[in-house]
Structure 1
Amino acid sequence: MNIEKSLDALEQLVPHYLLRNEKVSSTTVAWHIDHSLKVINSVCEALKKSNPENYKGTSSFVKFYIFLTGNIPKGKAKAPKHVVENGEISKIALENQLEISKKHLQEIKILSAKNHFSHPYFGMLPLKKSQRFLAIHTKHHLKIINEIINSNK
């Protein structure tokens, strides 16, 4: 699933934003949507601000494994503070962030292949790998959201 399809899937799940199941996650569906959108928006901002001339490829086993499998193990990483909301998350805030994310994803399509962002575990990711990371990360949270929703039926 590419990042645009993942974003569409997040949008379809906004009506369930208040759902929670402590056995699946300590947070609500809203938190997972909000976090996913914050990651998309911050990565896109970093990509747009980056200087392609400064790109240096990096490698790590963790990056190789996650990009190969397309899966992030649940509960293995801690999100940076700037992509975590600790307060109440409204439906309107989610909808506003969705619109910003859609705009960002269109804007990064015209960037150089060497525009990049620095991931705390994976190092520098060029444009295509950044887009792949966003798809993998969003898919990870979509799985958790769907578990929460399905456990509330």
Structure 2
Amino acid sequence: MKNSLESLVDDVATYIPGYTFSNDQISKVDIGWHIEHILLTINGVISSLAQSNPTNFSSQFSLLKNIVLLTNRIPRGKGRVPKVVKPQVAYTEDSLEQHIMATKEKISQLELISEDHFFEHPYFGNMKKRPTVHFLEIHTKHHIKIIREIVAAIK
């Protein structure tokens, strides 16, 4: 049975054929950028989770984190994309498809990571596995919504 994050990645994959579509009134970047950013984020965060040392975890309060995790929504245009998850290379339909497959493999590795591992979010601070996965779902849905708006504006 697929988990929610894997299902979201499947949804993202359906937009690859229109990866060059864009609409400056909705987003300054094209659909391919959003897809690549989603995949870079998921892969990077899961790698960071896996590499974390649970004994180094320290809880940190973040009002923004609490708002995002409780409302299941990221305010549009408020965050800045960290360089590590900002697409830097030219992507193609083939490279995006390959990245989708690599991301699905990375998601499958989540089962091997304990609940005590954590991710250090640049704005939210340290988050254990469960809230981190929840954040990845919210983040992915946020970008899918933008992609859908771009597609709708074309039709």
CA distance in 2, matches of 1:128, 1:109: 11
Matches for 1:103-122 after TM superposition, within 5 Å: 103-122=105-124
Number of residue pairs matched by the alignment: 153
Matches for 1:111-150 after TM superposition, within 5 Å: 111-150=113-152
Work out whether 1:85 is the aligned partner of 2:70: no
What residue is the counterpart of 1:57 in the other structure?
59
Is 1:33–1:94's contact at 8 Å kept on the other side of the alignment? yes
* Counterpart residue identity of residue 62, structure 2: S
1:52-74 superposed Cα distances (whole Å, 9 cap, x missing partner) = 12122222110110000000011
CA distance in 2, matches of 1:35, 1:131: 16
* Counterpart residue identity of residue 112, structure 2: I
* Counterpart residue identity of residue 29, structure 1: I
What residue is the counterpart of 2:40 in the other structure?
38
**TM-score with structure 1 length normalisation?**
0.96
When the two chains are superposed, the root-mean-square deviation of aligned CA atoms in Å is: 1.2
Q: Which runs of 5+ in 1 are unaligned?
A: none
* Counterpart residue identity of residue 81, structure 2: A
CA distance in 1, matches of 2:52, 2:99: 22
What residue is the counterpart of 2:12 in the other structure?
10
Question: 1:20 deviation in Å?
Answer: 0.5
Matches for 1:11-26 after TM superposition, within 5 Å: 11-26=13-28
Q: Which runs of 5+ in 2 are unaligned?
A: none
Structure 1's consecutive aligned runs of 4 or more residues displaced over 4 angstroms after TM superposition are none
Question: 1:88 deviation in Å?
Answer: 2.3
Q: Secondary structure at the match of 1:151?
A: helix
* Counterpart residue identity of residue 20, structure 1: S
Question: 1:12 deviation in Å?
Answer: 1.2
